[in-house]
């Protein structure tokens, strides 16, 4: 037998090439977390690599959603079906979000993360982060009424909606455009749909290309976060972080598996296919940036039809934030406890309502959950300085809640697809998908 004479570097490169993409992304994440603090300033300097990666994803999202939703609506054939999909999706999102806030509140009440913080720590945190509170105070704008909200869903200029990545407006326009195409005869519709189909396919090709550089982007993002992260703050707020992250984890391993089972899908199969999307969400802290990958995996690996995914997922990126809802429940209780404010049942119901509504209008971008938290605090009359108590661990909680947020969108898409007979797992996977 001839010994293998492949030179070592080539062997290593070959081995690395052989690793599956999702394993590489996970490696990027782990290595970033481990080496970030060691690299220090260098890690901060390579952050543009991570930002470039996020920009690449965001670059794809608007044309992808637009093309895919117009094609999806125009090929639906039956507008009543669209109405049904809409009602089911919004219903699911409202129930899941309200349940998530309630779970966050219950966990906060049960584990009392804010009880026992000494006055000195509290005073020093309030002083350290006073600037952030000022900024938040300026960002709290008047809450729009329901009427305003509905009017604002209609874009005066669809191109502006696209330029601002305003998903609610984009969805509104794309559906109407799709309906208009359906009304036009086949002959008129076809050339437009052919082009949009090609745009859609080209965007998917781009998603796949960006996914190949994901391990490096994820490494750069996580390295920068862990290099800059205040581990001291983490220790001070450990109980709060554990309660918040723990509740999100419990929600993820209870609510979603139940929803998946109701949709006839094996949760093990789901998480095996989906954890790559979760890694994207965790590293980018943005449901919007994760959307292209989420659409790709939900349609091609989990079998959700284009019609359902193209509508349910972009809507979810804006409207459905289960992780954020849990965060708001836990944080409200935490801040109230530190300030010694006790919240009665009515207050808790106010939190459920306000947090659910606040999450509807918030875009899936980094840090938005902390902004909408101010709405909840204002509603309850809790001092907004309280934000200063949680800001030190904001990034890590943002990463976690984004992961839970996107998972909720896909769990809903699978359920809606199942009930609409639009769930078609690839034949080769059927055995494990329905196990």
Token pair listed for 18: 């052989």
Residue closer to ligand ASP (CB basis): 36 or 369: 369
343 or 365, CB closer to ligand ASP? 365
Of 135-143, 144-152, 241-249, 399-407, the segment contacting ligand ASP by CB under 6 A is: 399-407
Which residues is 304 bridged to in the sheet? 423
Give the interface segment with ligand ASP, choosing from 21-29, 212-220, 379-387, 401-409 (CB under 6 A). Answer: 401-409
Candidates 55-63, 66-74, 306-314, 395-403; binding stretch for ligand ASP (CB under 6 A): 395-403
Segment (H or E) for 336: helix 322-338
Burial class (CB in 10 A: 0-12, 13-18, 19+), 289: buried
Q: Residue number with the shortest CB distance to ligand ASP?
A: 369
CA–CA distances in Å: residue 65 to residues 59, 73, 203, 321, 411: 11, 12, 10, 19, 19
Binding test (CB under 6 A) with ligand ASP, winner from 402, 408, 411, 433: 402
Site string for ligand ASP, 272-291 (x = CB under 6 A): -------------xxx----
User: C-beta of 297: minimal distance to ligand ASP in Å?
Assistant: 17
3-state secondary structure of 304: strand
User: Residue 18 CB, nearest distance to ligand ASP (Å)?
Assistant: 33
Burial (Cβ within 10 Å: 0-12, 13-18, ≥19) of residue 415? buried
Whole-number minimum distance, CB 357 to ligand ASP, in Å? 15
Q: Are 6 and 14 in contact (CB under 8 A)?
A: yes
**Cα–Cα distance, 19 to 143 (Å, whole number):** 49
Closer Cβ to ligand ASP, 166 or 324, answer by number? 324
The residue assigned the tokens 């869903």 is: 153
Task: Transcribe 188-241 into DSSP letters.
Answer: HHHHHHHHHHHHHHHHHHHHHHHHHHHHHHHHHHHHHHHHH--HHHHHHTHHHH
Q: Which is nearer to ligand ASP, 207 or 404 (CB)?
A: 404
Tell me which stretch binds ligand ASP (CB under 6 A): 12-20, 28-36, 74-82, 400-408. 400-408
Any idea what the Cα angle at residue 342 is, between residues 341 and 344, rounded to 5°?
140
Q: Which is nearer to ligand ASP, 173 or 282 (CB)?
A: 282
Residue 163 CB partners (closer than 8 Å, separation 6+)? none
**Segment lying near ligand ASP (by CB under 6 A), choices 101-109, 171-179, 378-386, 396-404:** 396-404
Per-residue tokens: 165: 């990545």
Q: Are 230 and 392 in contact (CB under 8 A)?
A: yes
Q: Which of residues 49-108 bind ligand ASP (CB under 6 A)?
A: none
The stretch near ligand ASP (CB under 6 A) out of 48-56, 106-114, 155-163, 398-406 is 398-406
Q: How far is the CB of 222 from ligand ASP (least distance, A)?
A: 15
Per DSSP, the three-state class of 168 is: helix
| φ/ψ (deg, to 5) at 421 | 55, 40
Residue that has been written with the tokens 């608007």 in this structure: 62
In the complex with ligand ASP, the residue whose CB is nearer, 83 or 367, is 367
> Coil, strand, or helix at residue 118?
coil
- The residue assigned the tokens 């993360």 is 113
Nearer to ligand ASP, 2 or 138 (CB): 138
Site string for ligand ASP, 364-383 (x = CB under 6 A): xxxxxx--------------
Q: Pick between residue 117 and residue 170 the one whose CB is nearest to ligand ASP.
A: 170
What is the nearest approach in angstroms of ligand ASP to the Cβ of residue 58?
A: 12
Asked whether the beta carbons of 390 and 55 are under 8 A apart, the reply is no
Nearer to ligand ASP, 259 or 288 (CB): 288
Q: Give SS3 for 423.
A: strand
**Smallest distance from ligand ASP to CB 217, Å:** 17
Residue closer to ligand ASP by CB (options 61, 70) is: 61
Site for ligand ASP in 305-364 (CB under 6 A): 321, 324, 364
Identity of the residue, 196 or 315, whose beta carbon is nearer to ligand ASP in the bound complex: 315
The values of phi and psi at residue 423, to 5°, are -105, 115
Q: Which one of residues 22, 24, 273, 401 is an interface residue with ligand ASP (CB under 6 A)? A: 401
Residue 213 C-beta: closest distance to ligand ASP, Å:
21
Total chain residues near ligand ASP (CB under 6 A): 15
> Does the footprint of ligand ASP cover residue 398 (CB under 6 A)?
yes
Smallest CA-to-CA distance from 101 within 278, 314, 256, 244 is with 244
List contacts with ligand ASP (CB under 6 A): 285-287, 321, 324, 364-369, 398, 401-402, 405
């Amino acid at each position: 037998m001839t010994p293998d004479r492949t030179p070592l570097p080539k062997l290593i490169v070959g081995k690395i090439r052989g690793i599956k993409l999702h394993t590489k992304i996970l490696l990027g994440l782990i290595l970033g977390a481990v080496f970030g603090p060691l690299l220090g300033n260098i890690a901060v300097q390579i952050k543009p690599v991570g930002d470039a990666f996020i920009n690449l994803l965001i670059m794809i999202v608007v044309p992808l959603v637009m093309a895919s939703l117009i094609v999806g609506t125009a090929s639906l054939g039956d507008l009543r079906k669209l109405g049904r999909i809409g009602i089911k999706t919004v219903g699911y999102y409202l129930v899941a979000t309200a349940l998530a806030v309630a779970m966050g509140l219950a966990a906060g009440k049960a584990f009392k993360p804010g009880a026992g913080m000494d006055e000195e720590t509290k005073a020093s945190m309030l002083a350290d982060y006073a600037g952030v509170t000022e900024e938040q105070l300026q960002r709290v704008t008047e809450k729009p009424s329901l009427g305003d909200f509905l009017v604002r869903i209609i874009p005066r200029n669809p191109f502006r909606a696209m330029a601002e990545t305003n998903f609610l407006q984009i969805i509104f326009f794309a559906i109407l455009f799709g309906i208009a195409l359906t009304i036009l005869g086949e002959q008129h519709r076809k050339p437009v749909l052919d082009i949009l189909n090609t745009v859609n396919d080209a965007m998917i090709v781009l998603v796949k290309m960006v996914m190949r550089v994901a391990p490096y982007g994820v490494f750069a993002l996580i390295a920068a976060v862990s290099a800059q992260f205040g581990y001291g703050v983490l220790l001070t707020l450990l109980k709060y972080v554990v309660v918040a992250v723990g509740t999100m984890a419990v929600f993820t391993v209870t609510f979603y598996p139940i929803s998946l089972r109701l949709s006839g899908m094996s949760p093990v199969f789901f998480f095996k296919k989906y954890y790559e999307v979760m890694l994207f969400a965790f590293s980018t802290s943005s449901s919007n940036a994760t959307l292209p990958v989420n659409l790709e995996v939900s349609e091609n690996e989990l079998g959700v039809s284009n019609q359902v995914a193209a509508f349910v997922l972009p809507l979810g990126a804006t409207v459905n934030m289960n992780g954020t809802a849990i965060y708001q429940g836990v944080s409200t209780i935490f801040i109230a406890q530190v300030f010694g404010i006790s919240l009665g049942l009515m207050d808790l119901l106010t939190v459920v309502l306000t947090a659910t509504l606040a999450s509807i209008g918030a875009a899936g971008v980094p840090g938005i959950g902390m902004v909408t938290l101010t709405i909840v605090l204002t509603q309850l009359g809790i001092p907004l300085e309280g934000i200063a108590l949680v800001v030190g661990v904001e990034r890590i909680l943002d990463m976690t809640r984004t992961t839970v947020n996107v998972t909720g969108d896909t769990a809903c898409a699978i359920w809606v697809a199942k009930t609409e007979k639009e769930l078609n797992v690839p034949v080769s996977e059927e055995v494990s998908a329905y196990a």
